[in-house]
Chain A
Amino acid sequence: MKDYALMMIGAALVNNVILARFLGLCSFMGVTTRIDAAAGMGLATTFVITVSSMADWAVQHYLLAPYGLGFLRTVTFILVIASAVQFTELTVRKVSPPLFQMLGIYLPLITTNCAVLGVALLLVEGRMNFMTSTLFAFASSVGYSLVMVIFAGQRERLAVAAVPRLFAGPPIGFIVASLLAMAFMGFSGISTG
């Protein structure tokens, strides 16, 4: 139990997808102008990562590994992810049209969000069992959502702050992102602790 908890904390905070592994930076800068959009993106990505990593685990263990089809890994994983994203898109469109409009092009682009494929590939590398890999994927995506929401909150405040003209807009966003990444470095103390 303790192992699971440590692994999840490690995946969510210490080795955060965005701030430690630098995956999914496109959506990190793209949909963090509003908290509600960022939270929606986080939820959608959490769903996609968790579902696709479960499917990918099955594909890896029952198809790719037994038949020695390792060279097809990327192709099959992307196929699974793309289907999961399509399904999410249909759902979001049905459930919340405003969120659908807000996420815009970034919703189908979850397919190419490297965080999703990255997590799936990390699971294969880690040789985890089904339970561990599902929890790992879920924790990673929670970490992703957390950082998205935190950063969106900061950007909402930045939008009304008096920023010198030279830094206004994306530049100050990147500076804040770097400060946030440094703050997350503090979590590495947990793992060695």
Chain B
Amino acid sequence: MFIAVASLTLMGIALGGLLGLAARYLAVEENPLEAELQALLPGSQCGQCGFVGCAQAAAALARNEAAPTLCPPGGRAVAEAIAARLGIRIDLAAVRDDGPQLAFVAEDICTGCCRCSKVCPTDAIIGAAKQIHNVIREACTGCGACVDRCPTEAMGMVPVPVTLPHWIWPRPATV
């Protein structure tokens, strides 16, 4: 009885000590994953994922606390890149991707309050006080942060129009 207890205790202490040493020598300093994930995210800090900004979202992804599909403006492309980096498979069909979106201003409702241009993460909305605002399409990332901010519901989102160079052959119907 004594031998059994003693031997198990000794083994526990010895193995625990070994693991303690290993943990010290094999410690992972800072998780390099986080920085890499942050580089994949759009970086517009729009907050649609539920985190404060892209850095926090990347940290959550690195800790495996968020799904790779968390970024609505990034759509399928970003989800795919994150999944590849994390080495996991995701069902891309489940990602809601309405394609890239653009903000627009309904000019007859806009009061020129300037609230939307203040929240735009890429300075894509121009306009002075009491003047109708407008969206610079090339700079808009389609994050939608301005839509909730507008007091008169003059902001909306539209899909980026399909033009000749952007058109894609549909995938053939599978057999």
Contacts and interface: CB of A to CB of B under 8 A. Distances in A.
Q: Is chain B in direct contact with chain A in the complex (CB below 8 A)? A: yes
Interface of A: 33-34, 37, 59, 63, 67, 69, 72, 75-76, 79-80, 83, 86-87, 90-91, 93-94, 97-99, 101-102, 104, 162
Contacts of B33: 97, 101
Interface of B: 3-4, 7-8, 11-12, 15-16, 18-19, 22-23, 26-28, 31-33, 64, 85-89, 174-175
**Chain A interface helix/strand/loop/mixed:** helix
Contact of A69 (B4, B16, B85): B4
Contacts of A90: 19, 22-23, 26
23 contacts: A33-B89, A59-B11, A67-B4, A69-B4, A69-B7, A72-B8, A75-B8, A76-B8, A79-B11, A79-B12, A87-B19, A90-B19, A90-B26, A91-B26, A93-B26, A93-B28, A94-B27, A98-B86, A99-B87, A101-B64, A102-B87, A102-B88, A162-B174
Given A97-B32, A98-B87, A162-B174, A83 B4 contact: no
Contacts of A37: 87
B7 A86 contact: no
Contact of B3 (A59, A69, A76, A91): A69
Nearest to B175: A162
A34 B87 CA distance: 10
Given A80-B11, A90-B23, A91-B22, 19 more contacts: A33-B89, A59-B11, A67-B3, A69-B4, A69-B7, A72-B8, A79-B12, A79-B15, A80-B15, A83-B16, A83-B19, A86-B22, A87-B18, A90-B26, A98-B85, A101-B33, A102-B87, A102-B88, A162-B175
B3 A83 contact: no
B19 A86 contact: yes
B63 to A, nearest CB: 11
